[in-house]
Amino acid sequence: MARAKARTVALVLLVSVFLGLVNTNLAWALPSSSPTSGLKVDCEGAVLIDAQTGQILFAHNPHRRWPPASVTKLMTLGLALEAIQQGKAHWNDPVLTSEQAADMGGAQVYLEPGEQRTLEEMLIAVMVGSANDASVAVAEHLAGSEEAFVEQMNQKAKQLGLKNTHFTNCHGLPDKNHYSSAYDLAQISRWVLQFPDTLRLSSLKYYKFREKPLLELWNLNKLLWWYPGADGLKTGSHSEAGLCLASTAKRDELRLIAVVLGATKQRGQFSESMKMFNYGFARFRYKGLYASGSQVAEIPIEKGMQDVVAVVPTKPVGITVEKGKEKGVGLKTVLPEAVKAPVKQGQKIGEAIITLEGQEALRVDLVAAEAVGEATLWRQIQKMFTKVIPSRK
């Protein structure tokens, strides 16, 4: 009886550990930090995910809370790009430097109180120079105050489903209530990568910020020079956080995101990230089935101005699998026999379900590629006569 009880407890603990590593946005995830992976990292927390699907490919203490240092600035960038996308801000907006922003310590571009720079220049300073003063200036420009902006940061973290993240500032300087985790930062990275300008800004190796006195910014993310395919995101470090890095690299169709927190050896944030990237690119490949916006099927329209409507996926339909196991990937579509007009463009019609070895792995919405209006009475009469009286050839 005692042995049986012990086995039951061990099983429950094993299941709990596994579920803690699973991406809650997916039906499954690959084993993480398993003895068979042969991969070990020297840091406090780390995770490697597929940027497309969010699948966890490797993890080491992925949910441990840890100071993110300047990797925090990814959330600052994301909110700024979201505001631009929504038309609430513009690249050429003049951003005024307040005394509070100018007084920020740590990494900075030495903004003077009252100095104005465009929002684009400020964001380049944030991403390339990791400038704390520019981060605060951006936060104040977008939300009126850094405090109000931090509220937006925490609201976005909640929207993204992050369980181990809380921000107290927009730059990442030490605060006991300012923390995140490797997994959460990977999700922030995945979210911010949806904005095309993220890679444009975070892949800049060099930027001349000021002519007089001359101030040249060199990107602190050395993977941009050292690792083939690396093209973003953000470094971070201070005495409490150690060396941190959220980075991304792409080879062929496979884009990966790696996060390292709390590395202590010299350049450890880079070496441990490269270990994970090497592991990921050597072991996995992306199996694409349908590109975003490509036609999957045509569905008949009842009482519509046209007879059928094409359905397309809202995002690429594909999955990352271990090399050699591609044949285990399957696809089935769940679609109605017909839909009634009117149909709106982007209206959900059905789903594409990707399976791996017969088990559901991922669902992608299938939507109408175009709007279809309701048929006029005259069109319905014409259609009825066409069915009754076949055309002669």
Distance CA 136, CA 169 (A): 9
Burial, 388: exposed, middle or buried (Cβ in 10 Å; 0-12, 13-18, 19+)? exposed
Please confirm, yes or no, whether 189 is among the known catalytic residues: no
**130 carries an active-site annotation:** yes
Q: How far apart are CA 7 and CA 17, in angstroms?
A: 15
| Active-site option among 32, 33, 98, 130 | 130
Q: Is 202 part of the annotated catalytic residue set?
A: no
Which listed residue (33, 73, 237, 275) is catalytic?
Answer: 73
Nearest CA-CA partner of 98 in 67, 143, 54: 143
CA distances from 167 to 45, 98, 150, 154, 171 (A): 18, 21, 6, 6, 9
Report the distance separating Cα 196 and Cα 199, nearest Å.
6
The answer to whether 275 touches 38, Cβ cutoff 8 Å, is: no
Q: Which of 32, 33, 70, 237 is catalytic?
A: 70
CB half-sphere exposure, 194, CA atoms < 13 A: 14
Active site residues: 70, 73, 130
